[in-house]
Amino acid sequence: MTLLAGIGSSLAGGIVGSYVVTKRIVFISGSISHAVLGGMGIALYLRRTFNLLWLEPIYGALAFAILSAFLIGIINYKEREDTVIASLWTSGMALGIIFLSLTPGYNVEVLNFLFGNILWTSQKDLLILLALDALIFAAVFFFHRKFLAICFDEKQAKLQGLAVKSLYFLLLSLVAITVVLLIQVVGVILVIAILTLPAALANVFCQKFSSIMASASFFGVAFTFIGLILSFTLNWPPGSTISLVATVAYFLGLGIKKSA
């Protein structure tokens, strides 16, 4: 079950991460990934305070991720977008910390989300991950060419009559969903590494976008598999180990490319 969760999340990360790296919205992805802490904190507070057993922290994370993507998308590359991104980053984490401090009991669930809890993936978690994976794959299947248009040349996409703003909203929503998927694997703090580094490494060696996407998905799965083996062997936290493997592989790839 752990390996299935890692594979499903890494495939989605490789696909969506390819758009993120090409579009150069890594900072936006980082903002979304940290803003979700607010949603998790509120969800856990409501769950514990009002005995809402159905309200899982991941639901709050998903709601805040999509809300953050929507708010960033409204700016649509206009002035002070960087300030809005930074404010979402900090306000989301601040809200999360405040509500966690108000939540009764020991918040081990949120610690798992902060640093990754892939080893504790339940059947329910896996079903949620698979449902989100299916949503991402379906959106990419139907909108891939249009996503490419706005990633490479937004002005040309407008001239072609594409709904650029709506497509950008949709792409950011996919980034938000992928962030929530990857939080299950490496946690809030390290999610940006596994979202972007496999795609960045693929970009070093591949020219065609389809090759970048396929290679990024392969790298993501490989990093997850190697990271899990190393974490088990060395007794290291799995999320941190996976992120470290991805980082080392990326810098090795840069070195190989430079020396070639």
> In this predicted model, what pLDDT tens digit does every residue of 39-98 receive, in sequence order?
988 998 999 889 888 888 889 999 999 999 888 887 765 556 677 788 888 888 899 889
Answer whether 173's CB lies under 8 Å from 74's CB. no
- Residue 72 inside a domain? The answer is yes
Q: Which residue has the higher pLDDT, 173 or 4?
A: 173
- How many domains does the chain contain in total? 1
Among the listed residues 22, 6, 10, the one whose alpha carbon sits nearest the alpha carbon of residue 152:
22
> In this predicted model, what pLDDT tens digit does every residue of 100-141 receive, in sequence order?
888 887 666 667 777 776 766 777 777 878 888 899 999 999
Cα 196 from Cα 175, distance rounded (Å): 11
Cα 229 from Cα 96, distance rounded (Å): 32
Is the pLDDT score of 7 beyond 80? yes
- Residue 222 inside a domain? The answer is no
Enclosing domain of residue 22:
2-188
- Residue 43 inside a domain? The answer is yes
CA count, 13 A, side-chain hemisphere, 204: 18
Average pLDDT, whole number, for the chain?
86
Is the pLDDT score of 22 beyond 80? yes
Question: Per-residue confidence at 212, pLDDT binned at 50, 70, 90?
Answer: very high
Among the listed residues 59, 56, 60, 58, the one whose alpha carbon sits nearest the alpha carbon of residue 38:
60
Is the pLDDT score of 171 beyond 60? yes
pTM: 0.90
- Residue 199 inside a domain? The answer is no
Is the pLDDT score of 247 beyond 90? yes
Cα 192 from Cα 31, distance rounded (Å): 9
Tally of helices (H runs) and strands (E runs) in the chain? 11, 0
We report the CATH number of the domain holding residue 49 as: 1.10.3470.10
